[in-house]
Amino acid sequence: MDRKICMITGANSGIGKAAAIQIAQQGYHTILACRNQQKGEAALRDVMEASGSNAVELMLVDMSLQSSIDDLAEAYLAQHDRLDVLIQNAAVFDITQKEPVYTAEGIESVWATNHLGPVLLTERLWGALQASSQARVIAIASKGLVAKPFLKVDLDDPEFRSRPFSVEDAYYQSKLAQIMYTYWLAERGREARITANCIRVPAVRVDIDKYDNLSPLMKKAYALKSRFALTPEEMAVCYTRLATAPELHDVSGVYFNEKMKPVKPPKYAQRAENIDKVMTLTMSYFKTGES
C-alpha cells in the first residue's frame, strides 16, 4: 500500500520539525520543504532518527520567491503523482525589523512569505492534491490577532510602500489574510475532495540563542514568555491530528485553536465580500494560465 504523502514548509526547526517527526511516525512519507540546505539536511537526519522512518525527504524552497515555489512544484511533480497533506508552516517575523524588505521579485518579504507563498504553492500543487482520495491543506495563523480585532488587509497598500512600516502589522496582516484564504479554499475544494483548515498558534517556546540580533533585554523578555508557552512538540500535536486523524477527513473551513477547538476569527475575516476582495488582490500577484 502506498504511503500517504505530507509536505511541511518551514520544517527545519520548531513546530514544523516536531510535526514532521510525529507525522512520519504515523507512517506518512514526509517532505521537509526548507529554505536552507544545510539546516534542512540536519533536520532531515533528526526527523529520520527521531521518527524511525526512512520515508522522509528534503526539498528546497524559498517561500518568499515565486520562482522558487515554481521550482519546488516542478521538482515535486516530477517525483510524485499526488499530495495528501500540505501544511503551510513557513513564516517570517523578525521583531527587530524596522524597515520593509523587498524580495528579488520586488514584493515585501512578510507579505510574500507568509501569505502569497502559501497560496501560490497550493495553486501549483492543486493537481496533485486533487489526485488524492481526500487531501488536506492546513494554514497557520496567530493567537496574537485576538489583540487586533479591528485589523484589516490594506487592499491599497499591503506592502507598506506608502504607509509607515511595522513588522508586527505586516505579520498580523499576512496571518489575517491566511485565515481568509482558508475560508476561500474550503469553498473551492468542496467538489475536489480537498479540505482547508487553519490553526491559531499561541505563544510557543523558541530557542533564544538563535536570535543573535536581540538585545539582552529582549532575550530576557522572551525567556520569561517561553516559561509559560507551549513546547513545539505540544503544539505539533494539533498539526498532526488535523493532518492525519481519520475522523477529520471531511472537516473543512474551520479555525482551530491549539486544543483543537473551533474558534472565531475577527469579524472582518468572516465576511464573504472581504474574503473575495483579499483573494482578488492575492491572485493579481500571480502569472495567469498556470495552475
Catalytic residues: 171
Q: Where are the beta strands (DSSP E) in 202-242?
A: none
CB neighbours of 135 closer than 8 A, spacing ≥ 6? 82, 83, 84, 85, 86, 129, 189, 192, 193, 194, 195
Q: Three cell numbers at 162? A: 506608502
**239: three-class secondary structure by DSSP:** helix
Residues facing residue 194 across a β-bridge: 135
Q: Where are the beta strands (DSSP E) in 158-289?
A: 194-201, 255-256
| d(C-alpha 124, C-alpha 190), whole Å | 18
**CA torsion through residues 169, 140, 81, 47, sign:** positive
**273: three-class secondary structure by DSSP:** helix
